[in-house]
Chain A
Amino acid sequence: MSTSRDRQNPAWFALIALLIFIAVGPVVLLLANSFKLDVDITSGVGGLLFMPTIQNYETALCDVLWYKPDHLRFCQIRFGGAFVNSIIIALVSTALTLLFGCMAAYALVRFRFMGRGSLSLSTLAVRMIPPAVLLVPVFGLWNNAFCLDKDYGLVALIRDTFGGRGDVCLAGTHSGIILIYVAMNLPFVIWILKSFIVQVPRSLEEAARVDGAGPFQTFFIVVLPLIKPGLAAAAIFTFRIAWNEYLLASALADRDTMTVPILIVNNASEFDGLGTIFATGMLLAIPPIIFTLFASRQIITGMTAGAVKG
């Protein structure tokens, strides 16, 4: 094992240790502060030596706790509800994006049809659209044109496809936020998955077709299992954006559909609840941290496939 490695210079280890410290330091700080009392956070003594307390997490999660924390008079931060919203929105939009994305990517790679070239090109081009650019039209459309009490054309179609409460606009519903996240993430997912589908040998699909499988059967039974690494990478990236996004969600969500990033930004300006804010931040960071630790290979694959195979 050690023979295959280059010379083991202690300077390299020092450098790597320093880089790891820089990369992880702020995250450790977040973790440590989320277990500190506000006085400990601002007093500046101790560093990592302090009495841990779960009080911040109790405050943050007060609306889902089964008991009433002693230090709280009333429950101000409704983190539990926002967390559930975030999970619903992130999971549903990831699932839809992957499903639609892999089908589109397959068609773009395997079939020749009218408009393929321009479709492929426009998918690539819309990758550059920043969420801020979508803010104005999304705000306008979701509140006016995409209202569910109107009954014409596209709008009726959205209502039938995505549901909604019937009496309201698409703004303020989970479906409204999910719709824009799916649209926003599709170009990237199609792009990544295309580079994986290209590598699937055609002979497998032809064999399936000879055995009498239709195009959809061929795709879902033969091709999909072969591009699992690509799907995993795409899923992580889509989930990350849907989970972390703030701007569009804040324009669309109301009090009941608020996601965690909105809650954090809304409460970040108050300085008395510093520890609580760190606790909410930590809770928001947990899923990405888990992905990083357990699926770093897929993430790196996705990143290089997305950039190198442009």
Chain B
Amino acid sequence: MTRHSLNRMTPYMFIAPAALVMILALFYPIAYMVWGSFRDWDPSQSLSETEFVGLANYIKLLGDAAFHESFRVTLVFAFTVVSVEMVLGVGLALLLDRNIRGMSVLRTLFILPMMIAPVVVGLVWRYMFHATYGTFNRFLESIGLPRVDWLGQNPLLSVIIADTWQWTPFIFILSLAALQSLPRSALEAARIDGATAWQQIWFIKLPLMMPVLIVTMLLRLIDAFKVLEVILVLTGGGPGLSTEILALRIARTAREFRELGEAAAMSNYLLMLLMLLTLGMFAFTRWQDARAQRLRPAAEEEE
């Protein structure tokens, strides 16, 4: 009898530690935040002392020009970096998908930008973008071009360049892995039929890579909304509100303006946006699996 009940409890004993930590430090805080977003909440108060204000925080944000701006900046940043990185990363993978010496060194060194602390990345790039002694302006000057005020005049562009440097390798490595696991037979057949390199890429490689590419893109898009430290160190959100992405605005609202309720409402808006993206990803992988299930019997019959 004890043996039997032990067996029934086993899965829960394996799950318990992880579940406990996640409930305590992930789900409970999120619920707490949702509750807090309906309240007028000052950091010095505990939540039960605060006043219930209904949807006031959410409505206030809808009319807040600074929030609009920061929402816009976030979307522009996320979609720009993801499109640029997808084009560069997939392009490089297609170009370098061949057996050449130095490839493994490149792959190893390409991981470096992703592994280094975002804070340090911001630090180095702030130096390189510096108006007078920065690397880029020194280079421009040495070849006789005028200086560019990177962080002052083109802050969003500078931030996008730094992020592209850091995360293009992610897409490169994943697309390379996808490319190298493509069925050789399809490529072989195309080559025998006389398809040009471009035709192979357009009609065979890209369509076959598409499932992995879409998941990669969605993952990267979700991550692009998490970026904070690089921008914080590079520009601090400025000048003005030009690079103040939502994550940064949440941090400032909470810590400088001491409006926890409003920051919580803002966090919820961001969360809803990301939820939509994640649902999109789920729906896509489900659909993909279903399609693969449908196609498998057909493929087996052909063989």
Contact = CB atoms under 8 A, between A and B. Distances in A.
B interface, size bucket: 35 or more
A19 B106 contact: yes
Contacts of B92: 19
Given A29-B124, A154-B24, A289-B112, A22 B133 contact: no
B299 interface: no
Contacts of A143: 43
A134 B29 contact: yes
Given A268-B123, A281-B123, A303-B173, A107 B14 contact: yes
Interface string B10-48: 111111011101101111111011001000010100110
Interface string B105-149: 111111111011111111111111000110100100000000000
Contacts of B204: none
A106 B120 CA distance: 36
A149 B264 CA distance: 26
Given A19-B92, A20-B106, A139-B254, A265 B124 contact: no
A261 to B, nearest CB: 4
Contacts of B222: 127-128
Contacts of B201: none
Interface hub of B110, B169, B212 (most chain A Cβ within 10 A): B110
B112 A23 contact: yes
A182 B22 CA distance: 8
B120 A136 contact: no
Interface in A136-168: 136-141, 143-145, 154, 158
B178 interface: yes
B260 interface: yes
Contact of B107 (A13, A96, A251, A296): A296
Interface in A101-151: 101, 103-104, 106-108, 111-113, 116, 119, 123-141, 143-145
B174 A278 contact: no
B195 interface: no
Contact of B250 (A96, A132, A216, A274): A132
Interface of A: 4-6, 8, 12-13, 15-17, 19-20, 22-24, 26-27, 29-30, 33, 41-44, 96, 99-101, 103-104, 106-108, 111-113, 116, 119, 123-141, 143-145, 154, 158, 179-180, 182-184, 186-187, 190, 215-216, 219, 240, 243-244, 246-247, 251, 261, 264-265, 268, 274, 277-278, 281-282, 284-285, 288-289, 291-293, 296, 299-300, 303-304, 306-308, 310
19 contacts: A5-B101, A8-B101, A23-B112, A27-B116, A104-B17, A125-B275, A128-B278, A132-B228, A133-B30, A136-B264, A137-B30, A144-B46, A145-B32, A145-B47, A184-B26, A268-B233, A277-B123, A281-B119, A284-B120
Given A137-B33, A303-B173, 8 more contacts: A16-B100, A132-B247, A133-B30, A136-B264, A154-B28, A243-B117, A246-B118, A307-B212
